[in-house]
Amino acid sequence: MISNYLNCHLSKAVTREKGQSKERFIEERKRYFEENIRFKETKYKGLPVYLAKRNEPNDACFNKFAIGKEEFHKTRNIDMRRLERFDWMFEIIDRIDICKKCRWIKIYPDKNYDNRLDIECLFKKYKLVIVMAEHTDHYEILTAFYKRT
């Protein structure tokens, strides 16, 4: 298992610098998200993949991926672990064939929705939920989060 860790192809989570305020970290990650993640695209099984709500105004897309569990939705508080792992959403899809070889990736239909696919990195404890769009010509990343268990 140690060799899998050393060979993991996902980037390290981006954490706050020593002495950096939470607010400043959030603003920097928000800026990074807008510049590098929001309109990013990749392919899965030959179809384009992009973020849900990427074309909605204001902070709708950022909030969708930065505010996680129900407890955060109610308070509108940012989930810091989500901010730290923005890059992983696309890295997992881009490197899925590599991840499959080391057997840390689990891909399965969502048990509650017919049109959703769950992609879980067991090693990094990270899960993506992608949904097939209505017209089946693309996928959208619906949510992505760090699994605390």
Mean per-residue pLDDT, 4-17: 77
Domain range spanning residue 38?
18-146
What does the pLDDT read at residue 43?
94
What does the pLDDT read at residue 73?
61
In a domain, 97, yes or no: yes
What lies within 8 Å, CB to CB, of 80 at 6+ separation is: 22, 25
For residue range 54-106, what is the model confidence (pLDDT) as tens digits?
999 889 899 999 987 666 566 778 989 899 999 999 999 998 888 888 778 88
Per-residue confidence band for 5, with pLDDT thresholds at 50, 70 and 90: very low
For residue range 107-134, what is the model confidence (pLDDT) as tens digits?
999 898 888 999 998 888 899 888 887 6
CA dihedral 71, 120, 126, 93 (to 10 degrees): -120
In a domain, 8, yes or no: no
Distance (Å, whole) CA 89 – CA 79? 15
In a domain, 108, yes or no: yes
| Count of Cβ atoms closer than 10 Å to residue 148 Cβ | 7
Question: Can you tell me whether residue 90 is helix, strand or coil?
Answer: helix
In a domain, 67, yes or no: yes
In a domain, 77, yes or no: yes
In a domain, 53, yes or no: yes
What lies within 8 Å, CB to CB, of 81 at 6+ separation is: 13, 68, 145, 146
For residue range 15-51, what is the model confidence (pLDDT) as tens digits?
999 999 999 999 999 999 999 999 999 999 899 999 9
Q: Considering its fold, how many domains does the chain have in total?
A: 1
pLDDT value at 4 more than 70: no
In a domain, 135, yes or no: yes
In a domain, 2, yes or no: no
pLDDT value at 2 more than 50: no
What does the pLDDT read at residue 93?
92
